Amino acid sequence: MAIGFDMLCASTVLELKKDFPDLKLIGALPCKTQEKFWNAKDKKIYREMLTKLDAIRCIYDEYIGAECMIERNKYMVNNSSLLIALYNNISGGTKFTVDYAKKQGLEVVIIKP
């Protein structure tokens, strides 16, 4: 449920739900206040998206640093059967998540930007 690829994927799942109503979209949030510093347009899109989710899993109440993101990413990997990542081999949260998923034996599909 981050700005960018996450929201694009969530929108795609919502479209797919029209033809596959049993499909579920669960939002994984690092903290309840993740959108606190986003611009008004992104906040609006995010808040509208939250209303369309089948469930929300929030890791922390407040942002406590990068640990929020790491724990959210671990949660997503630990509750998935496949990881699809938009990834350009640069260090950061996506690299951590891809590496963690591989260590957990998850199938990983990389989309190069």
What digits encode the pLDDT tens for the residues 67-83? Answer: 999 999 999 999 999 99
What average pLDDT does the segment 9-25 reach? Answer: 96
What is the distance of C-alpha 43 from the center of its chain? 16
The per-residue pLDDT for 72 is 96
Q: Give the start-to-end residue ranges of the domains of the chain.
A: 5-111
The per-residue pLDDT for 59 is 96
What average pLDDT does the segment 75-101 reach? Answer: 95
DSSP-based helix, strand, coil % in the chain, nearest 5: 40, 20, 40
Nearest residue to 88 via CA among 3, 30, 2, 5:
5
Other beta carbons within 10 Å of 39? 9
Contact 107, 80 (CB under 8 A): no
Class of domain 5-111: alpha beta
The per-residue pLDDT for 106 is 97
What average pLDDT does the segment 38-65 reach? Answer: 96
Residue 26, φ and ψ in degrees, nearest 5: -115, 125
Beta-bridge partners for 85: 110
The per-residue pLDDT for 27 is 96
Q: How far apart are CA 65 and CA 81, in angstroms?
A: 27
Is residue 65 very low, low, confident or very high in pLDDT (cuts 50, 70, 90)?
A: very high
